[in-house]
């Protein structure tokens, strides 16, 4: 009887080592699949959902020349988001949806990398005020204790790239690349110009204008709705955050005044929690200030897109709970005052309770 390789022990081992049976990482989303869930070229594997999205990007934009670099984290987040969106709708995503998420992801990556490169000066509040900065803007930044000045200073970035500015610039770059790719595809078909289709009167199709206006109105409505949600969450969180920050700051100052030797873990947790509270408070103030500037804009002016808050309801609750526990632990580690013994104030001779003074009526 003829024995096929797959029927023998050696054949089974060889089968298990085939690429289709291996667990491999998709180079775009970073998730683990078996080799049959996508395409494996050499050591590079791309799952089918990510491959479809990547193919759509390359077809509509050509290459990535002129676009900013993409961090691995942001790339994986984008492709995972697209996979989740595809599973939700149950079909391949249109280019319009992919392009919007693609521009947003690149913008986030640019802003994050830019912020990391921005140099910040650490100066006392009085110096910033002399330079013409508003007190509220300075206090919204991170504060640290300076051994050089022997005082608290504010770390203020001199230059900051806004999210809306980066989004607008990237959107324009993607649009240019999209047009260039369209012209290249048209040239292969023999078409030189790719203008809008003209009707009998020589005007651009009114239907295209209506679609464009409707899309712009929907996008503007989405921005306003998103801004309202962020503003409401920021305004609601400002009170609890401010109160928690003041309470923890007071506890640390009290421990310092009493020269309390706090445990290293307690002190680190307290400083990390205080920093988190200040970062969240600063983000809330920026959101509220941005929304106020939006409301002051003239009718018809596009509103600024509010930066997403660095917390949600669950993480905020956890942060406030951590603050309460840290304050409790600090109070427990403070030096305790000695309690007065019960024997104090008693008659030392008799060892009993103090002798009460006898009250007598005066002589008539």
pTM: 0.39
Q: What is the pLDDT of residue 188?
A: 56
Whether residues 188 and 55 fall in one domain = yes
Higher pLDDT, 13 or 294: 294
364 contacts 286 by C-beta, under 8 angstroms: no
Residue 359 has pLDDT above 60, yes or no: yes
Residue 100 in this model has a pLDDT that exceeds 70: yes
Distance CA 15, CA 249 (A): 63
pLDDT band of residue 327 (cuts 50, 70, 90) is: very high
| 76-99 confidence digits (pLDDT tens) | 989 999 988 888 888 888 888 888
According to DSSP, the β-strands at 142-146 and 151-157 are antiparallel
In a domain, 284, yes or no: yes
Residue 249 pLDDT level (bands cut at 50, 70, 90): confident
173 vs 300, residue with greater confidence:
173
Residues 292 and 186 in one domain: no
206 domain residue, yes or no: no
Same domain, 171 and 99: yes
List Cβ<8 Å contacts ≥24 apart for 198-203.
none
Tens-digit pLDDT profile for residues 122-132: 888 888 787 77
Q: What percent of the chain has pLDDT over 90?
A: 9
Number of folded domains that form the chain: 3
The answer to the question of residue 6 being in a domain is no
Domain finish residue from 158, 184, 209: 158
In a domain, 126, yes or no: yes
144 domain residue, yes or no: yes
Give the residue-averaged pLDDT of 31-59: 88
Is 309 within 8 Å of 287 (Cβ atoms)? yes
Are residues 105 and 88 both part of a single domain?
yes
Q: Can you give the residue range of the structural domain that contains 265?
A: 221-333
Tokens at 208, concatenated? 């295209």
CB contact at 8 A, 170 and 110:
yes
Segment 116-120 shows an average pLDDT of 55
Same domain, 26 and 69: yes
User: Which residue matches tokens 């003074």?
Assistant: 357
Alpha carbon separation from 3 to 7, 9, 11, 149 (Å, rounded):
6, 11, 10, 84
Report the side by side order of strands in the sheet with 151-157: 120-123, 151-157, 142-146
């Amino acid at each position: 009887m003829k024995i096929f390789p797959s029927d023998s022990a050696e054949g089974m081992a060889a089968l298990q080592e085939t690429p289709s049976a291996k667990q491999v990482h998709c180079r775009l989303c970073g998730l683990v699949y078996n080799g049959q869930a996508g395409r494996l070229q050499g050591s590079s594997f791309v799952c089918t959902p990510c491959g479809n999205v990547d193919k759509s990007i390359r077809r509509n934009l050509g290459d990535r020349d002129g676009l900013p670099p993409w961090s691995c984290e942001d790339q994986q987040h984008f492709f995972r988001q697209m996979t989740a969106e595809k599973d939700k709708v149950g079909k391949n995503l249109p280019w319009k949806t992919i392009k919007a998420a693609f521009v947003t992801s690149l913008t986030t990556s640019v802003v994050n990398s830019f912020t990391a490169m921005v140099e910040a000066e650490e100066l006392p509040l009085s110096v910033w005020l002399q330079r013409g900065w508003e007190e509220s803007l300075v206090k919204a930044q991170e504060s640290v204790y300076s051994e050089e000045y022997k005082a608290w200073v504010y770390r203020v970035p001199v230059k900051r790239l806004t999210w809306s500015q980066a989004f607008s610039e990237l959107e324009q770059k993607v649009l240019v690349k999209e047009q260039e790719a369209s012209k290249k595809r048209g040239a292969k078909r023999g078409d030189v110009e790719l203008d809008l289709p003209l009707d009998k009167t020589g005007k651009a199709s009114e239907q295209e204008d209506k679609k464009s206006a409707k899309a712009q109105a929907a996008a503007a409505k989405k921005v306003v709705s998103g801004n309202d949600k962020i503003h409401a969450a920021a305004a609601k969180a400002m009170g609890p955050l401010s109160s928690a920050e003041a309470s923890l700051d007071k506890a640390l100052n009290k421990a310092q005044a009493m020269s309390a030797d706090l445990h290293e873990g307690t002190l680190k947790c307290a400083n990390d929690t205080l920093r988190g509270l200040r970062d969240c408070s600063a983000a809330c103030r920026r959101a509220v200030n941005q929304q106020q500037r939006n409301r002051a804009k003239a009718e018809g002016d596009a509103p600024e897109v509010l930066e997403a808050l660095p917390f949600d309801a669950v993480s905020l609750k956890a942060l406030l709970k951590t603050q309460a526990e840290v304050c409790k632990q600090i109070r427990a580690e403070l030096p305790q005052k000695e309690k007065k013994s019960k024997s104090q104030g008693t008659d030392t001779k008799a060892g009993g309770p103090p002798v009460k003074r006898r009250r007598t009526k005066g002589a008539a």
